[in-house]
Amino acid sequence: MAWAVSALALSGCAQSAPDPVEPTPHRIDPAVFAAAGPWAAEFAEAAVAPYQVGILSDGVITAEERADARARTSKCMRGHGYRYEEHRDGAADIDPLHRQSESIEQVASYLADCSRRFDHDISMLFDAVRRNPEHRAEAAIQVACLQRSGVVGADYTERRWRSEQADDHFSFEEWSPEATRCRLDPLGLLRQG
């Protein structure tokens, strides 16, 4: 039995007692992560275990650190009896290594535990910082991209985008190639490298 899941949907969703790695007892002051610039608050929120603090403390997440966090999460899942493979788009495959049959809730709790100890938000932050290094307002970069791409006209506003985003219903074809490109990479930085 194989499950395809969204790692973003499961990571950090369930609370379980971590084994050998104790989570930080309280939120860390974002000033500790001042080197992360406009992302300091998000780095502080992601630092829930000593492993994450070690990665995030210099204000940069390298590709090697992201790969290590993912590898540790996969190794942790193997310890629970599951092969875990995360894909570039954030989706993941989870397959039992043996013939065990556990509920999706139980497997999700294993993933939440492993993620909390290792990857947590490391992968998400790695992509988010690359996508929007100045941490500009999402509505501003989305609307500018949609206008540049010809998806919406000059009269389409940030306020309208926020309202449509909240309603989860857009007045334009949100899955068109241009709109998808704007959603994933509104500043065009990921395509550059």
Residue pLDDT tens, the chain, 193 long: 444 443 333 333 333 333 334 444 567 889 999 999 999 999 999 998 899 999 999 999 999 999 999 999 999 999 999 999 988 777 889 999 988 888 999 999 999 999 888 987 898 899 999 999 999 999 999 999 999 999 999 999 999 999 999 999 999 999 999 999 999 999 999 876 5
- Residue 39 and residue 125 in contact, taking contact as beta carbons nearer than 8 Å: yes
Burial code of 97-121, b = ≥16 C-beta within 10 A, e = fewer? eeeeeeeeeebbbbbbbbbbbbbbb
Tally Cβ neighbours within 10 Å of residue 89.
10
